[in-house]
């Protein structure tokens, strides 16, 4: 995340997470400071892999889907992101995420 931020990329999270403990998780994990924003399912009453939560993120931050790289550990969530026009990475097992991100970002630009 830090390297992407240094390169000037905007970072957002899209999470199926309970609202009542999210603020504590953010406080305990400094990497959240790297994000430019995000959407929590419990707070918008929509969840992945439903398209509505993706649309909320896109509209809230004026994102252009074809310029977005979406990474998730659940394949159905990545499938929906791709259906929405984003480039996707399904993160499973032990993968070389750095090289996958470089490869996918190259294909976007």
pLDDT digits (tens, 9 = 90+) for 43-71: 999 999 999 999 999 999 999 999 999 99
For residues 91 and 71, give the distance between their C-alpha atoms in angstroms, rounded to a whole number: 7
Q: Which residues have CB under 8 Å from 75's CB, separation 6+?
A: 90, 92
Weakly modelled stretches of the chain, pLDDT under 50: none
The average confidence (pLDDT) of the chain is: 93
Its pTM stands at 0.89
């Amino acid at each position: 995340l830090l390297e992407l931020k240094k390169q000037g990329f905007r970072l957002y999270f899209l999470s199926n997470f309970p609202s009542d403990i999210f603020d504590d998780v953010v406080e305990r994990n400094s990497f959240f400071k790297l994000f430019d924003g995000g959407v929590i399912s419990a707070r918008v009453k929509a969840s992945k892999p439903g398209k509505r939560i993706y649309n909320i993120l896109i509209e809230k931050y004026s994102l252009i889907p074809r310029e977005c790289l979406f990474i998730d550990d659940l394949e159905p969530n990545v499938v929906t992101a791709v259906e929405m026009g984003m480039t996707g990475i399904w993160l499973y097992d032990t993968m070389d995420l750095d090289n996958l991100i470089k490869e996918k970002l190259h294909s976007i630009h």
